[in-house]
Chain A
Amino acid sequence: MKYLLFLLLFLLILGVVGVASNPSPGFAALSLVMVAGSGCSLLAGQGGYFLALILFLIYLGGMLVVFAYSVAFTGSDYVEGWGTRRISLAAAGYLLLVWGGGVILSTNLNEEFWTVGASFGEFMSLEYSLVGVAHLYMGGGWLLVAGAWALLLVLLAVLELVRGASRGAVRVV
């Protein structure tokens, strides 16, 4: 179990360093997938399974996919990654920063501030976010309607903004 935790944390830090050090958005998005994967596994292991599931679905499966498609439009010829010396040096520098920060912050190892679940009311030993969503759908009332209206509005606003073909300022589409 310790080895699994160590592997996940290592991949997390490596992925974060990858996001920070890669100038190409494609490689950065790939590192972000690694970060999200390891981070969500850690979260699920600590009891936050609902949040991890929602993150995978919406963040990776919705927002990151749209980001990757938008980035694909801006393809460049000379993509730099960890292969070039400049970027690998930057990545090593970030890793050193993380290691130094860990050394400084590791003096207080006995703190415990990681609670993702609680028992209250009719929801026993369930995660906070799951209970929150359930409450929104159960007793949310008009707030749920307003939230759904907000989502619909953002869709319509984006559609209206990117409506191109001589009606927009984005002439190429």
Chain B
Amino acid sequence: MSPYMLIILIFTLGLGTLITLSSSHWLIAWMGLELNTFAILPLMAQQHSPRAMEATIKYFIIQTTAATMLLFASVSNAWLSGQWEIQQMSHPTPLALITIALALKLGLAPMHAWFPEVLQGLNFSTGLILSTWQKLAPFSLLLQIPPTSSFLLITLGFISVLMGGWGGLNQTQLRKILGYSSIAHLGWMILIMQYAPPLTLLALTVYIVLTSSMFLTFLYNQATNINSLAISWTKTPMLTALTPLVLLSLGGLPPLTGFLPKWAILQELTKQGLTPVAALTALSALLSLYFYLRLSYATALTTPPNNLPATLPWRIIFKQPTTFLAVLITMSLSLLPLSPSVMAFFTF
């Protein structure tokens, strides 16, 4: 792609999220979301294959449907209450519709079916933007709207954790696995949103760090399925040694960073008297843990059959800059001892 086009698209991605994050009027928030949708479409279609075009079209249809629902709900709210403030929505019907529209935008279950398929059609860097940056703007809106039906949010959250775990069990393609892991993590974030919004932000940030590490790891190893992942130890042994730890951090195991949001969320849910929800969600996270374990097993715990020349790529100097990945992996493995300051960072 022409560098001018690339600059314009990436700038607009940043501008759209910034506009939505800083808006108090529903129309401006909608404008930022539409900017994000349109800016990422050429990036997704960069590969010019039919699979990439299919993913682009699916993404476009889903996002515009969600944006239209959002617009309808905000106009209905303006009609009913006479004003367009995001934080002053007073009527329950537009509130519920906006929650569902934003859930569709994010890829929460039961509106999650598009997400793994769209991710599968993209290359890793575009998929990374889709999984991390594109989640910021809808979350900022979800955090700002007044409390809505608590049943809706808990249902969305719990079903997302369940479907994210269950759906990922039968996958061998790594991008689909990362898609289902995203759905599960988003479920955890939505679950706690009405009780402790700082924990949602904490879960979102930790998730972004973790999933960026995974996307970049798969990008450097050029591994698109479990079979390719299994021979990636020949390319970067050091990275291969750390990948299982990042995966277990994604699964939420102590003493890794991924444990922190789950711990805090379960604690807060129990304090709110929702112990059965907390227990069921923790049990559903076991499903995700299983396929993370399967990936760790394929990456570092077994050595598939190989011939001698194919075991030597690590001798060639790795030219790609890996500083950012190093920082991300350090953060995804070792932030748990800093829990108090990490949580204080998000409490506002």
Contact = CB atoms under 8 A, between A and B. Distances in A.
Interface stretch (B43-51, B104-112, B206-214): B43-51
B34 A169 contact: no
Chain B interface extent, by class: 20 to 34
30 contacts: A146-B19, A146-B31, A147-B31, A149-B12, A150-B31, A150-B34, A150-B35, A150-B38, A153-B8, A153-B35, A153-B38, A153-B39, A154-B38, A156-B9, A156-B42, A157-B9, A157-B39, A157-B42, A160-B1, A160-B42, A160-B45, A161-B42, A161-B56, A167-B48, A168-B45, A168-B48, A169-B48, A169-B49, A169-B53, A170-B53
Given A153-B35, A153-B39, A168-B45, 16 more contacts: A149-B12, A149-B15, A150-B35, A153-B8, A153-B9, A153-B38, A154-B38, A160-B45, A161-B42, A161-B45, A161-B56, A168-B53, A169-B49, A169-B50, A169-B52, A170-B53
Interface of B: 1, 5, 8-9, 12, 15, 19, 28, 31, 34-35, 38-39, 41-42, 45, 48-50, 52-53, 56
Nearest to B41: A157
A160 B12 contact: no
A97 B8 CA distance: 50
Interface in A57-91: none
Interface of A: 143, 146-147, 149-150, 153-154, 156-157, 160-161, 167-170
Contact of B8 (A150, A156, A168): A156
Contacts of A161: 41-42, 45, 56
Given A146-B19, A146-B31, A149-B12, A160 B5 contact: yes
A160 B4 CA distance: 12
- The secondary structure that dominates the B interface is helix
A149 B39 CA distance: 11
Contact of B5 (A146, A156, A167): A156
A42 to B, nearest CB: 21
Contacts of B15: 146, 149
A160 B34 CA distance: 17
A153 to B, nearest CB: 5
Contacts of B38: 150, 153-154, 157
Q: Which 5 A-B pairs have the closest CB atoms?
A: A160-B42, A169-B53, A157-B38, A153-B12, A169-B50
Nearest to A167: B48
Among A146, A149, A153, which residue has the most Cβ atoms of chain B within 10 A? A153
A143 B31 CA distance: 10
A160 B19 CA distance: 24
A168 B12 CA distance: 23
Contacts of B49: 169
A167 B49 CA distance: 9
Contacts of B34: 150
A157 B35 CA distance: 11
A153 B12 CA distance: 8
A149 B48 CA distance: 26
A69 B12 CA distance: 30
A63 to B, nearest CB: 15
Contacts of A147: 31
Nearest to B35: A150
B79 to A, nearest CB: 11
B28 A143 contact: yes
Contacts of A154: 38
A103 B8 CA distance: 54
Nearest to A143: B28
Contacts of B1: 160
A169 B54 CA distance: 10
Contacts of B48: 167-169
A126 B89 CA distance: 29
Among A146, A147, A157, which residue has the most Cβ atoms of chain B within 10 A? A157
Contacts of B41: 157, 161
A147 B31 CA distance: 8
